[in-house]
Structure 1
């Protein structure tokens, strides 16, 4: 089942010719989710071919570089005669601000819009096989981060062992894999644990939005497959990062190491580093020994299952 992350925008508050304001698009088996929508997000969606069928928009906070793309998206959806409902998740206490963005052109959208205020510890959205959790961010306004966490998957079915036990090929295989015991013709009862392995982990993607380093990022999920972390500055601006409630690449990497993340994407890159992000990567790799990188706008990642190589 594919899980794909597309970096629509990766810049800090000031865009550059190479980097759009922040926006992350996640596609999972027909579900299309958008995390933040900086100015120009709809053009990035067209440019990088994600499509516009977003069902849920998750906003980390209401600074302009994270939300100014929303009015344009609302208008485009209207022009395209959208009928499908949209859920917008926004930090507690920001409903009025979000309504202003949704209705900024003075027109009521032609499709249903639900605004859902969320806070740390909430599940913003629960789907059949995953949920989007909310965790605390440390920024200079009401702010949260989000973690997409898949449910555990069933263990692998040992067909060879089932046949050795005399289970006939057919519906009883499925029952065992679903956790039901089955009775054979001779009266023998075969239990699921005899032929089904331990449950296997799903995948997880954590996105911090703008934040200083926080323990909440570490605690939201163990060993995320991808951590997308604020890395506005490098070591030369550590004091500035603290003053403006952002993180450095090295600080982001320390969080990644603590979480046991498999990959670390450094985003929210200040325009002062427009020509060269090599220091971000070097400093992150000093303390994090997984894959650390600064994505370019348009980069897309397929997230494999943790046990894919087993």
Structure 2
């Protein structure tokens, strides 16, 4: 599991930062990519990565401001040209379906794959399968905006092969049955419970990716004990009033959320063009006394999300 930042700027692109898009790379877990927001020129940014558009399985849109969605029609069309034929699902606020379908219709674009929409009508669980659950909660922005909490399910414990060998259990199909948790009778009459030979489950990882927002208690819920929190930082730590007026957050507010929620790492994104060069990094430096594991991300940065030890 990795986070790759395709765009880290706020509002409009600059020479240093494209507008918002984050890729959650789940290639080992499900051979897929999930995107969170698709700002203008996201498909151009992808050209500088190893991401293949046909691997994009799901797209989660936080809100309908242009710097978060204007890249969608182009990306969806290019996915057809580049061999994409697997279904793709877009999650987001009411209106995202109309935006996408209108753009495709007016441009007479034809997709080579099924396109599905899940317009979020209420907060809570919006997706679940055997490997992951995704939750959405409303944030405090000028228009309807969501944050997402991605929860990886726990991995089954490893088969304790040393313990089996010590018990003189013959290798072969029996090992597979025990790993599946079955009760097995051996040729010598012993009855073994597979659960006695399986180690502790490996806890799954949690990633919280928030859209634009003022400080809000829903951010705490989304970020609770997360391994990684992606939080906007449009304003510096001493600009709380400006942030409130424009429905955004300061780096200090993001750090306070990370600390209260007990997250492992905080990634600051949605950086205003006012913070160019070294000035952008000050957004992190000035709040590390609140939350030491804070980092301002750049376009094309990639970060591993390791398992808990």
- TM-score, length basis structure 1: 0.90
2:19 to 18, 21, 33: 21
Give yes or no for contact 2:4–2:302 (8 Å, CA) kept in 1.
yes
Give yes or no for contact 2:237–2:287 (8 Å, CA) kept in 1.
no
Give yes or no for contact 1:70–1:102 (8 Å, CA) kept in 2.
no
What is the alpha-carbon root mean square deviation over aligned residues? 2.1
Write out per-residue CA displacement over residues 31-57 of structure 1, whole angstroms, 9 at most, x where no aligned residue: 111110111111000122322121211
Residues 229, 239 of structure 1: alpha-carbon distance in 2 compared, 3 angstrom cutoff: same
| Counterpart-to-counterpart distance in 2, 1:7 and 1:64 | 18
Q: List gaps (5 residues or longer) in structure 2.
A: none
Q: List gaps (5 residues or longer) in structure 1.
A: none
How big is the shift at 1:253?
Answer: 1.2
1:58 to 42, 60, 65: 60
Write out per-residue CA displacement over residues 73-132 of structure 1, whole angstroms, 9 at most, x where no aligned residue: 133234446433221111135433343344352444343221211245443333441233
Match of 1:280 in 2: 283
Residues 142, 94 of structure 1: alpha-carbon distance in 2 compared, 3 angstrom cutoff: farther
| Counterpart-to-counterpart distance in 2, 1:61 and 1:101 | 17
Residues 114, 257 of structure 1: alpha-carbon distance in 2 compared, 3 angstrom cutoff: same
| Counterpart-to-counterpart distance in 2, 1:161 and 1:35 | 44
| Counterpart-to-counterpart distance in 1, 2:81 and 2:165 | 58
Higher mean displacement: 98-107 or 128-137: 98-107
Q: How many residues align?
A: 304
1:201 to 200, 203, 215: 203
3-state SS of paired residue (1:271): coil
- TM-score, length basis structure 2: 0.90
1:172 to 163, 171, 174: 174
Residues 163, 79 of structure 1: alpha-carbon distance in 2 compared, 3 angstrom cutoff: closer
Give yes or no for contact 2:258–2:291 (8 Å, CA) kept in 1.
yes
| Counterpart-to-counterpart distance in 2, 1:237 and 1:219 | 24
Give yes or no for contact 2:208–2:230 (8 Å, CA) kept in 1.
yes
2:142 to 120, 140, 143: 140
Mapping 1:63-102, distance limit 5 Å: 63-80=65-82, 82-92=84-94, 94-102=96-104
Match of 1:242 in 2: 244
| Counterpart-to-counterpart distance in 1, 2:187 and 2:220 | 52
| Counterpart-to-counterpart distance in 2, 1:203 and 1:283 | 28
3-state SS of paired residue (1:55): strand
Mapping 1:83-162, distance limit 5 Å: 83-92=85-94, 94-162=96-164
